[in-house]
């Protein structure tokens, strides 16, 4: 098995990665070898790494403006942050991941692929004030929307956006967590289908704009 694009997916891969397709194939090779050996990618995912993962993530690039700064929260094996860095060299990408074995893989992948991407070993909440506010914060399959927004929106600049890659639960999550999002200073969420007409299954992305900065509530001191 190699990281080469399956023949039937070449049109989509060419469209999404353009002249960076060879680099994307190098990354795919790392995922299906080292990524599987280190437990970052399940063995069953290796044969469908392009269909379910790389193209799914690359499609999100259409929502990101040129030259934007991107912070990818809970990056894992680099999905979607590393994919965006490969597809879009104009972006300034920071990968945030708390687990050492994952950040070790990410550091090695960045070096092997010759990217300028930054890898930060930390939880999202530990990066508030440590990282410059980002234009875009991304996350894929990390947590329900209310918790995800609580971690991610403070990392975005006011006017910046959270792009949460979700599945079929997107609309239900928005309805369930609308009040929580408003309390966090978010605008009304918008659902996008990225890669519609290009991918067999378009990527569902919930876009949440950070409209205002919210003062964090101070915890009351406990009495002894």
What's the predicted TM-score (pTM) here? Answer: 0.93
Segment 44-58, tens digit of pLDDT = 999 999 999 999 999
Q: How far is CA 78 from CA 5, 129, 185, 212, 223, in A?
A: 18, 23, 28, 29, 44
pLDDT at residue 222 is higher than 90:
no
> Among 73-87, 111-125, 134-148, which is the least confidently predicted range?
134-148
Q: Rg of the Cα trace of the chain?
A: 17
Please give the pLDDT value at position 216.
Answer: 55
Chain mean pLDDT for the chain: 93
- List the one residue out of 86, 11, 83, 84 whose CA is nearest residue 49: 83
Segment 17-44, tens digit of pLDDT = 999 999 999 999 999 999 999 999 999 9
Please give the pLDDT value at position 1.
Answer: 61
Going from the N-terminus, what domains does the chain have, and what CATH number goes with each? 64-209 (3.40.50.150)
């Amino acid at each position: 098995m190699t990281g080469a694009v399956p023949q039937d997916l070449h049109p989509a891969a060419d469209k999404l990665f353009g002249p960076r397709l060879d680099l994307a194939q190098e990354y795919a090779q790392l995922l299906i070898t080292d990524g599987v050996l280190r437990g970052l990618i399940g063995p069953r995912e290796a044969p469908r790494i392009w269909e379910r993962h790389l193209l799914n993530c690359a499609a999100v690039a259409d929502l990101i403006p040129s030259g934007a700064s991107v912070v990818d929260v809970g990056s894992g094996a680099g999905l979607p942050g590393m994919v965006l860095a490969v597809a879009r060299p104009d972006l300034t990408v920071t990968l945030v991941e708390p687990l050492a074995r994952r950040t070790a893989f990410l550091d090695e992948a960045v070096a092997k692929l010759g990217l300028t991407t930054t890898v930060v070993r930390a939880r999202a909440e530990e990066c508030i004030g440590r990282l410059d506010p980002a234009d875009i914060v991304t996350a894929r399959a990390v947590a329900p929307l209310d918790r995800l927004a609580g971690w991610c929106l403070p990392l975005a600049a006011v006017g910046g956006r959270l792009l949460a890659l979700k599945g079929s639960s997107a609309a239900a999550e928005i309805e369930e967590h609308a009040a929580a999002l408003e309390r966090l200073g978010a605008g009304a969420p918008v659902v996008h289908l990225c890669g519609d007409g290009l991918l067999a299954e378009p990527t569902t992305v919930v876009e949440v704009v950070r409209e205002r900065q919210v003062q964090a509530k101070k915890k009351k001191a406990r009495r002894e």
